[in-house]
Chain A
């Protein structure tokens, strides 16, 4: 562990401030709580919100997993994981089922989460109504009065224009039947995983300075129309590496002749699906 920094980089007062915000967020599922976002050693747009949430809740006994677009081995995931290893000295892992905290950019792990785990999302734009209403004063009022009809306007426009709802990621949801929430740019494929999830889901937006949360076992419903119900992406292909037909697949270009293959975006899931007998604890 590096010297010169407090445990997990943030000072204790800042962690308290963030935890107070998180408690409020958990108390009002889906409601955006403002917080005093700190300057972090990486620019806005790189996950400062998620990092601050993780830093605030991290303890010495925690086991941290960090993924970016489902993968543990991309640059950002590696950097953030290494950052916490240095400033907190916590154990890290690539295995979803062994982590106590999973910080993620733009995916929910395929492996189902359990009670006691925490999923921390990195959020660019927390406000689902921002596309429609630029004024913060107005959007706050709309949330306060549950004035959400206009969100369906966006879906209506999609159907009118494309014949179907075109939004495929960051798909708006209703949390606990009360607050309209933006789940961050996860593919809509992942939306059903948020519903009644046993884990705690925390959301941090550093640039926009907002926290929100979905407590365990909270209903989360994706918006739709009765005659255009919510559906998830489907692929004709299976994962080229593990054969999975149930996971979110990335399309990878393999050569300059346009060769391509489809592989699971969740690297941990893919690896374990390939070698199902390779489990950490013996039966």
Chain B
């Protein structure tokens, strides 16, 4: 099995200067690996740093120490020390991320939000939109909403658009942060199917799954995390 992402020695402590320098330690020596076809689930109580670790993998959070090696374009890149353009290239071609919240540009339609990762890779707009339509349909977003900007959608609908965007380009590594949080049973099942298909096609998935059923269905391995006691 090809190891696609490997993190070791990760340490993160938030220092809140606006609160007089309060320190909030999150993890001290976290490690994680994920190989092609695996789904690694981060599991633990609130405050154990699951989302933070996921964000560190994506380069959205900067750890104080450690390495995160990602297989990209034939070589290993360390996210922690890589220059911004390398991380941008990795996000474009190698690693996708579905956050808890959808952040989109005000006037872009749901269809184009989902199609964007493909457009950015150079795919023609018709093909990208076709793939986007298929995903939105699978996630039960009514077709009448596809041309609208997601800002007015319900929380669950926004999350499904977010998920569709994450799966659109079929990148080798996929990070999922609570993907089924605001979904009903039908849509939870749709997301589970998407994850299983991604695994089957060789994607390395790292995710935080609050729902036990979802986690047990999709996870190959579970990494337990526990909160640090503040010093």
Direct contact of A and B (CB under 8 A): no
Contact surface of B with A, Cβ cutoff 8 Å: none
Question: Could you list which residues of chain A lie within 8 angstroms of chain B, going by C-beta atoms?
Answer: none
